A and B are shown apart, each in its own frame.
Chain A
Amino acid sequence: MIWQLDLFLLLFVIICALAAINVRDLLSAAIILGAYSFFMCMLWAEMGAVDVAFTEATVSAGVGTVLFVAAVFKTVRRSKD
């Protein structure tokens, strides 16, 4: 584990989390959540948990983003806050 890379990726994860809950367009929020999951996947590969990184990249960044985008298309795209 390289602590500089760890800190860098963690800062990106926190930035993505803040952006995902503050953006008003729900489709953008879903895509930013996918980017968040991908940064999380890199964080796990960096921590040595390669199996968790594979699962995160396929299940959370892949299927999760597809589910969120499909739900946004089925409902409304605008959010008030």
Chain B
Amino acid sequence: MLELLLSKYNYWLYVILMMIGLYAMLAKRNLVKKLIGMNIFQTAVILFYVSIGVKTGDVTVPILPYGHHHGHEQAINVAHYLNPLPHVLMLTAIVVSIATAGVALAVLILIYRRYRTLEEDEILKINQEAGT
């Protein structure tokens, strides 16, 4: 049992990282802190996906040393390369995450222009006073 826990140590650390992000999204009152927590959560998920494609043993990065037109026509053994499918999927996820962060920061600037603060409790108080 202990060996099972220790052999998958990276998954446990990813879960810890994900919980740090979730805590920041739930418990922090500053909106920029919430956004940082969202970034941490996303990178934890991306780390988990990339770590699925890792192989141990006699493997190397998925780059061919020779092209097909240099007289090196030997067959490519897939078992000697890492799985590139999670890499390309998560490459897209990184770009999407930074685009999300950019849109969220633009919304934060608009919120600051209207309320002159970025603290969630102060914004809720201003809204309550305007409502009554």
Contact = CB atoms under 8 A, between A and B. Distances in A.
B123 interface: no
Contact of A67 (B82, B84, B101): B101
A49 B53 contact: yes
A67 B60 CA distance: 35
Interface of A: 1, 3, 6-7, 10-11, 13-14, 17-18, 20-21, 26, 29, 33, 36-37, 40, 43-44, 47-52, 55-56, 59-60, 63-64, 67-68, 70-72, 74-76, 79-81
Which of B21, B33, B62, B102 gathers the greatest number of chain A CB atoms within 10 Å? B33
Contacts of B61: 48-50
Contacts of A36: 40, 43
Interface of B is mostly: helix
B50 A33 contact: no
A40 B43 contact: yes
Interface residues of B, number: 50
A68 B105 contact: yes
A21 B33 contact: yes
B13 A26 contact: no
Interface of A is mostly: helix
A52 B84 CA distance: 10
A79 B47 contact: no
Contacts of A47: 50-51, 54
B13 A10 contact: yes
